[in-house]
Amino acid sequence: SQQGEEDPQALSIQEGENATMNCSYKTSINNLQWYRQNSGRGLVHLILIRSNEREKHSGRLRVTLDTSKKSSSLLITASRAADTASYFCATDGWDDKIIFGKGTRLHILP
Amino acid sequence: GAVVSQHPSWVICKSGTSVKIECRSLDFQATTMFWYRQFPKQSLMLMATSNEGSKATYEQGVEKDKFLINHASLTLSTLTVTSAHPEDSSFYICSASYRGVQETQYFGPGTRLLVL
């Protein structure tokens, strides 16, 4: 089952621009994670943000979490061709069960 | 939308027994299926990638004789945890990928395994 909803579903931007993806969820969470998936490959974990955190950075990635709005955003700065992939948010709650959103397909144009 | 099911949703077994987990794509043919495990409060760890009709590709550190994966059809993949031990207790989740116009991936609800 998939609780999260990422938007947009697909995003195309020019190389060098920033890419922002959003994720909304429905129930209370312990953690929210972002994953990347390249075509034909498995998920790669990008970043985890806990429910008591509001912002987290990792390299060119910036994740924000607003628990009052039940939403998170993933910002990729200075995008590169290699960033072309699908991005998923995943939440886990009281039962530690991880639930995924439907993903955003990001395409970086040369 | 497409649905991926897993069965069972949870299982408790004795140490030494084998447990089979099924992953089915209910309304589409999956080009590829992935198996992940998750320890509590940690991120998913990819175990293996499975393509229909061919042997699964295991990630480094995952014992292929311990975690048997069979992908017999485009709608079914199974993961068998052989001679399960308590350290195999985890949450196992599969995903199914459909490579149409654009690749789309759908996740199963997961299977919680507890080995006593």
Report the residue of A9, A51, A97, A104 to disrupt the B interface, i.e. the one with the largest count of B CBs within 10 Å: A97
Q: Answer whether B43 sits within 8 Å of A33, measured CB to CB.
A: yes
Q: Answer whether A40 sits within 8 Å of B44, measured CB to CB.
A: no
Give the whole-angstrom CA distance, residue A36 versus residue A88: 6
Give the whole-angstrom CA distance, residue B6 versus residue B109: 6
Q: Which of A71-75, B2-6, B7-11, B74-78 has the lowest mean pLDDT?
A: B2-6
Give me the count of residues in chain B: 116
Percent of residues, chain A, with pLDDT higher than 70 = 93
Q: Count of CB atoms within 10 A of residue A68's CB?
A: 5
Q: Answer whether A37 sits within 8 Å of B105, measured CB to CB.
A: yes
- Mean pLDDT for B28-43 is 84
Q: Are B63 and B56 in contact (CB under 8 A)?
A: no
Query: What is the structure's pLDDT at A44?
Result: 86
- Mean pLDDT for B36-57 is 84
Confidence of residue B1 (pLDDT cuts 50, 70, 90): low
Q: Answer whether B91 sits within 8 Å of A90, measured CB to CB.
A: no
Query: What is the structure's pLDDT at A4?
Result: 62
Q: Chain A contacts of B7, Cβ < 8 Å?
A: none
Burial class (CB in 10 A: 0-12, 13-18, 19+), A97: middle
Select the more confidently predicted residue: A91 or B42: A91
Q: DSSP secondary structure string, B97-110?
A: EEESSSEEEEE---
Q: Are A63 and A56 in contact (CB under 8 A)?
A: yes
B110 has a chain A CB within 8 A of its CB:
yes
B43 has a chain A CB within 8 A of its CB:
yes
Distance of residue A84 Cα from the nearest chain B Cα, in angstroms: 13
B1 has a chain A CB within 8 A of its CB:
yes
